Amino acid sequence: MNASAKELAALLPPGFTLGVATSAFQIEGALDEDGRGPSGWDVFAAKPGAIVEDQSPAVSCDHYHRMPEDVALMKDLGIDSYRFSLSWPRIQPGGSGPVNPAGLGFYDRLIDLLLENGISPMATVYHWDTPLPLEEAGGWMNRDTAYRLGEFAAIAAAAFGDRVDRWVTVNEPATVTTNGYALGMHAPGEALMLKALPSVHHQLLGHGLALQALRAANVRGEIGMTNVYSPMVPASANPLDKLSAGLMDVAQNRLYADPVLLGKYPDIIRAATFFSSSFSPSSEDMDLISQPLDFYGLNYYMPTRVASGPGEGAVPPGMAEAMGDDLSGTPGAPFHIASFPDTEHTAYGWPVKPDYMAVALAEMAERYPDLPPVYITEGGASFEDVVVRDAAADRRIIPDERRLRYLADHIGTALEATRPGGAAESVDLRGYYVWSLMDNFEWSAGYKQPFGLVHVDFDTQVRTPKASYYWLQEVIAARRAASAAHVPGAAVGQQ
């Protein structure tokens, strides 16, 4: 799939949502302002060595103070929808108890400004910034955190339920468990390995309780949750490689999607409750976790190639380098992540494999017969950008052709796969959100992995749209032109 802006626009079904995504902790800064409380991420990021070059999230994109400018960038881009997250420690600083009116006020202004500009708000309730008191009480290892998230969702529903069009309860519990509790590369920095299993169940329960709270408040928007999905590709036909890929598939994909969409954990996990005595999900929990969704959020970035035995890349590709630390080659590891040969890689070292976008959707359809409508809630690529001075036009140009190509190929592949006759034709694909609107604090990689359509100079806070931004703008303009040509009664086939 190698579509021009016009060709891609022609593939967009009527009503398809094109959006951009961010999360609060990654863009807002202003961590100590207007009554925000600390989060587990504030503390983790301050630990020497936790973040590349010990970079700080304290200011980041300064979005808390520049929100109107950032909404104006979205308006000029022309996108239909903006996915952002509500900062729990800004709204409810203690993680339980009193609400901070200034925190609610910020999102009130954001949501109103979006609506004034014709941009549909998609709010993520939990995108990793756990309030510190809850993290100190065990975070997601503590079942109580799930109930606290349910309460926070009720607060958010009461405040914004009349205006938010789509809700995502939790974002990527797999990344929180794997990076935060199993490997220790994200907050809270715990390296519990298999003992991190309860953090999976508690996040999924938190999703269920948040969903229940949003439904009870009768919010007007649709409700879903978001999982990351990476197709697992055995490095060879060797049965041990296949077994390894299957284990990774259970650990990274099925462990999080099966409970939500099938109402049960994968058998191999249920058989493994000996990992942790506190992991014994009741049927009441499973009922909460598998309540019907209005949509399913899928984050797709890349497939994962898996080989048996120890080797390079025991942690997600690029992460070890990003950490400036060699965590790879763990002796005795049963399997490892291998690289794809002859493949372009992003700055993170992530393989660029647009065909697997279709594989991801097809596997989802095959595994989950009752899959609700799907939004791809994130997709994008980090590439090092160069700012070029166009002296004649007196402006700066950022020719991010590789990011542009990544997005064109992935959006195009997703659309083709879900058309009649496509590899994932039964998937009701409703939209694609680009990660991210602008370069931001990429967790433990700091500011070293830019995913933005808009470049941010972190010294001056100057925003500069990249070529990929102008390309997406062109796609949206071409779609508008095509649909204007399709007024009722007009001749068909005039695109």
**Residue numbers at the binding site for ligand PNW (CB under 6 A):** 23, 26, 171-172, 175, 228, 230, 299, 301-302, 316, 378, 435, 442, 451
Nearest approach in angstroms of CB 183 to ligand PNW is 11
- Give the span between the Cα atoms of 381 and 470, in whole angstroms: 16
CA of residue 238 relative to chain centroid, distance = 33
Nearer to ligand PNW, 204 or 302 (CB): 302
Tokens standing for residue 209:
């309780």
| Exposed/middle/buried for residue 369 (C-beta within 10 Å: 0-12, 13-18, 19+) | exposed
Nearest approach in angstroms of CB 357 to ligand PNW is 13
Q: Which three-class secondary structure state does DSSP give residue 338?
A: strand
- At 127, the amino acid letter reads H
The 10 Å CB-count burial string (b at 16+, else e) for 277-315 is eebebeeebbebbbeebebbbbbbbbbbbbbbeebebbb
Which residue has tokens 């005039």? 494
CB 146 within 8 A of CB 125: no
Tokens standing for residue 210:
């948040």
Enumerate the active-site residues.
Answer: 172, 378
Axis crossing angle, helix 101-116 with helix 144-160, rounded to the nearest 10: 50
- Give the span between the Cα atoms of 344 and 329, in whole angstroms: 23
Nearer to ligand PNW, 77 or 302 (CB): 302
Nearer to ligand PNW, 279 or 348 (CB): 348
Nearer to ligand PNW, 250 or 302 (CB): 302
Nearest approach in angstroms of CB 316 to ligand PNW is 4
Nearest approach in angstroms of CB 236 to ligand PNW is 22
Q: What share of the chain is helix, strand, coil (3-state, %, to 5)?
A: 40, 15, 45
Nearest approach in angstroms of CB 239 to ligand PNW is 25
- Give the span between the Cα atoms of 61 and 65, in whole angstroms: 9
- Give the span between the Cα atoms of 10 and 31, in whole angstroms: 43
- Give the span between the Cα atoms of 96 and 143, in whole angstroms: 14
- Count other Cβ atoms within 10 Å, centred on residue 13: 10
Tokens standing for residue 248:
């990774």
Nearer to ligand PNW, 100 or 377 (CB): 377
| Exposed/middle/buried for residue 43 (C-beta within 10 Å: 0-12, 13-18, 19+) | middle
CB 354 within 8 A of CB 220: no
Q: Which residue is nearest to ligand PNW (CB)?
A: 316
Strands 395-397 and 429-435: unpaired
- Give the span between the Cα atoms of 12 and 418, in whole angstroms: 11
Nearer to ligand PNW, 142 or 171 (CB): 171
Nearer to ligand PNW, 217 or 225 (CB): 225
Which residue has tokens 């955190």? 145
| Strand partners of residue 229 | none
Question: What residue ranges in 195-303 does DSSP mark as E strands?
Answer: 222-228, 232-234, 295-299
Nearest approach in angstroms of CB 98 to ligand PNW is 28
Of 149, 201, 147, 141, which is closest to residue 170 (Cα–Cα)? 149
Nearest approach in angstroms of CB 230 to ligand PNW is 5
Nearest approach in angstroms of CB 127 to ligand PNW is 6
Nearer to ligand PNW, 160 or 229 (CB): 229
Nearer to ligand PNW, 92 or 171 (CB): 171
- Give the span between the Cα atoms of 375 and 377, in whole angstroms: 5
Nearer to ligand PNW, 286 or 302 (CB): 302
Nearest approach in angstroms of CB 186 to ligand PNW is 9
Nearest approach in angstroms of CB 302 to ligand PNW is 6
Q: List C-alpha distances in Å: 66 to 90, 165, 462.
A: 17, 23, 11
